[in-house]
Structure formats: C-alpha cells, structure tokens
C-alpha cells in the first residue's frame, strides 16, 4: 500500500510539473512574457500593449501576453539567453538579434544593397516567408517580421561621399560585428563603442560619426554633437516578434492561426507608426540644429561603387552567400523593369 501511495504521489507531482513546464499551472492561463527594448510610452510600445489585449480576447483569457518594455530584460544577447532558458518566452528583436537565430536575415542589412522602400518591399515579398521558415526551423517561432526604418550616417562634419567619411572615426557597437567588419573592409576607421557610451564617445572626440536609426539618434541625443545627416539610406532596419518553441507549442492549436493573424496585422500597424515616428524625429532634430544633406545621383553612385568593390570579400563571410545571390537577382529584375 505504501508503494502504491508513493507511486500515486509521484504521478501527481509529474503531472503538476508538466503543467508548470508548459507555463500553465493547474489549468490556469498560459503566461507568455515578452521582452522589448521599446519604451512603453511610445506608439510602438502602446501597440504591443494592444497586442497583449487582443491575444487575451482572442483566447478568452487562456493566453496572457505580459509585455516587459523599456529594455528591462537586458540587451538582445541577454534576451536570447533568457528565451533559451524559458525565463521569458517571447521578444521583440532587431536585425541583429534575428541574425543570431537566422544569419541569412542580416543580408538585408548589407550596406547600400537595398536602397529604398520600394526595393525593400519587393525583396520582402519574395524572401520573408523563407526567413520565417528558417527561424521556425530553430528553437523559435516567428510571429512577425516588420520594417523599422532606415540606418543613416550622423557625423560631426558633412558626409556626402565615401572620402568624407573615411576622414572621420566611426563608432560601431560590439553587438554588431558584421557591419563593423563591412565598414573596415571598405577602409573606414571603425572604433568599437558600447551603445550606452556612444554619446560620451562623441562628446569626447573618441568617435566622429555613427550609423544608426534616426529614431535612436533622436532619442539618444546624438544629433547634438553629430549635427550632420546624409540623406542616403545605408540599410533597412528590421524588427521581429518571436516566441521560443516551447511557448508556441504550449498554446492550444485552435488559437494559433488567429494569434498569427492578429500579430501580423498589428505588425503592419507597427510599421506605419515607425515610419511616422522616423519622419517626425528627423523633423524635430532639424528644428533643433540637425543639418540633412541631400545627395546627388552621382554622389549616391560613389557609395554604391565603393560597396561593390568590397562585396567579393564580404559575401560568404559577413553575409550569407546564397541569400545575397537570391536578393541580388530580385533587385536586378526589379531595377530592369520598364
């Protein structure tokens, strides 16, 4: 009888642990913690709160999405570690975080490869599904991949052509070694600086220029020192919402398609809000002393030619060769359309 009672206790314990392991204790709601670097008081932050509310409504409260905004869960590297440990179950990641899961995605950020929104839309129309499948083949599930604006140059002195930038020291974050290597290959003076020390480095003269999103440049006040912005787009800035596989598998099957539909619809709203935020931020920075320098077609071509000289050494090393060739073919066909 004692052995039988002990066996029953162990079975009960295993059942309880199994339920907790799926994030659903004793029939309660499934709680999914989502980490985000985005400040909660921005339009994007509020949109994530909307996502949480819609998930709850669509699942009749069975799935609870809790948003941890403002970077409280640490850097993207820390967030990925926590995803793998199931300390958190979901995250909003940038191109660089997504790259750690699926290196093919970073090819979108090859400097001066994709040049405008129309080209980016054409590329994503063809490859976004492939990128999502690649993420899903790892220990994750892709809920949405969204456009988050463009990376630009901000500098102490005007930058119109590559020679202008090569006279200045460019700050690059250690979390972005691939882009740093690309610029080093092109002959630029690259100085590695932690993101939270970039403004200090600009003020102290350790660096003279940065490449970053205008939204981030505005929020971090880089434009107070790096008062010049070249109009040319360096690369698209991407974002994504991912779950770890364990969390995705814990969600009842009848809700999954609806949650994907909701997340991708709201992803479109995030894209719209980010485009507006980028334009508003540039306008506000210009009102506070930023000088934007439009480039002529000839000046833009100098950047493209400079990058093309470095491509043979970058493709296959910094950027995924098959993905680069695939996107290059899409762009070539698009640019050759009558």
3-class SS of residue 317: coil
- Cα–Cα distance for residue pair 231/249, rounded to 1 Å: 44
| pLDDT one digit per residue (tens) for the chain, 338 residues | 444 444 444 334 333 333 333 445 446 789 999 998 877 777 777 888 999 999 999 999 999 999 998 888 888 889 999 999 999 999 999 888 898 899 899 899 899 999 999 999 999 999 999 999 999 998 899 999 999 899 999 999 999 999 999 999 999 887 777 778 888 888 899 999 887 789 999 999 999 999 999 988 998 899 999 999 999 999 998 889 999 999 999 999 999 999 999 999 998 888 888 888 899 999 999 999 999 999 999 999 999 999 898 888 888 888 899 999 999 999 999 999 88
Ordered by start, the domain boundaries in the chain are 20-335
Q: Dihedral through CA 57, CA 58, CA 63, CA 67, nearest 10?
A: -60
Q: Are strands 30-35 and 209-212 parallel, antiparallel or unpaired?
A: unpaired
pLDDT tens across 169-221, in order?
999 887 777 778 888 888 899 999 887 789 999 999 999 999 999 988 998 89
| CATH classification code of 20-335 | 3.40.190.170
Contacts for 10 with CB less than 8 Å, ≥ 6 apart: none
Tell me the sheet residues that pair with 68: 35
The secondary structure element, H or E, covering residue 333 is: helix 321-335
The per-residue pLDDT for 95 is 83
**Residue pLDDT, tens place only, 24-63:** 544 678 999 999 887 777 777 788 899 999 999 999 999 9
- Alpha-carbon span 209 to 312, nearest angstrom: 26
pTM, full prediction: 0.85
Query: In this predicted structure, what is the pLDDT of residue 160?
Result: 96
């Amino acid at each position: 009888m004692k052995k039988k009672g002990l066996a029953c206790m162990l079975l009960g314990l295993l059942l309880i642990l199994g339920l907790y392991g799926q994030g659903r204790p004793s029939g309660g709601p499934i709680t999914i913690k989502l980490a985000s670097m985005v400040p909660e008081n921005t339009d994007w932050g509020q949109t994530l709160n909307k996502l949480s509310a819609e998930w709850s409504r669509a699942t009749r409260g069975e799935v609870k999405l809790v948003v941890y905004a403002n970077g409280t869960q640490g850097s993207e590297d820390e967030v990925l570690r926590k995803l793998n440990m199931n300390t958190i179950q979901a995250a909003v990641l940038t191109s660089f975080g997504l790259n750690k899961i699926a290196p093919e995605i970073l090819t979108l950020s090859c400097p001066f490869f994709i040049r405008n929104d129309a080209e980016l839309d054409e590329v994503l129309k063809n490859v976004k599904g492939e990128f999502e499948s690649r993420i899903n083949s790892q220990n994750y599930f892709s809920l949405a991949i969204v456009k988050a604006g463009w990376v630009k140059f901000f500098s102490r002195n005007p930058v119109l052509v590559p020679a202008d930038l090569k006279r200045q020291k460019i700050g690059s974050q250690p979390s972005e070694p691939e882009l740093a290597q690309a610029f080093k290959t092109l002959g630029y003076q690259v100085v590695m600086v932690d993101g939270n020390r970039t403004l200090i480095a600009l003020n102290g003269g350790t660096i003279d220029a940065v490449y970053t999103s205008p939204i981030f440049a505005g929020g971090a006040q880089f434009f107070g020192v790096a008062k010049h912005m070249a109009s040319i787009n360096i690369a698209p800035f991407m974002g994504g919402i991912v779950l770890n596989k364990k969390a995705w598998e814990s969600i009842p099957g009848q809700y999954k398609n609806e949650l994907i539909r909701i997340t991708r619809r709201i992803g479109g709203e995030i894209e719209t809000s980010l485009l507006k935020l980028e334009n508003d931020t540039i306008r506000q920075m210009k009102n506070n002393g930023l000088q934007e320098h439009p480039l002529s077609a000839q000046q833009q071509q100098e950047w493209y030619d400079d990058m093309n000289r470095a491509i043979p050494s970058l493709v296959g090393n910094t950027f995924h060769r098959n993905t680069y060739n695939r996107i290059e073919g899409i762009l070539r066909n698009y640019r050759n359309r009558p």
